[in-house]
Amino acid sequence: MLSRFFIIRRIENDAYEELRLQDNKKKFEESQNYKAGQIVYYKKNRKHKFDNNYTKTTVIEDLGPNIVVSKMGKRGKWRKVNKKNVKNV
């Protein structure tokens, strides 16, 4: 009788663990594909509670595996930003 209980419990645990793993896979599948010439916002550090979270719109110049590179204006600075801090317009 106990062996049946343990077998059923083991099957339930395996099913629950597989369900949790599927949920984790779904979370990390979100990836955005950026292209050169696309207009985006960059997330910036706020100095005050009510400051804007994002910069003005900029155009992507170059892409790396995790880094987006762009230039602010004609004589502006080059920016290297992680892809997680970039938002589409």
What pLDDT is stored for residue 31 in this prediction? 62
Contact 57, 13 (CB under 8 A): no
Letter for the amino acid at 82?
A: N
Cβ count near 83 (within 10 Å): 16
What pLDDT is stored for residue 26 in this prediction? 63
Contact 63, 69 (CB under 8 A): yes
pTM for the full predicted model: 0.53
Residue with tokens 């987006």: 68
Contact 68, 83 (CB under 8 A): yes
pLDDT tens for each residue of the chain, 89 residues long: 678 889 999 999 999 998 888 877 766 555 678 888 888 888 888 888 888 888 888 888 888 877 777 776 677 777 788 888 888 87
Residue from 59, 53, 81 nearest 71 by CA:
59
What pLDDT is stored for residue 24 in this prediction? 72
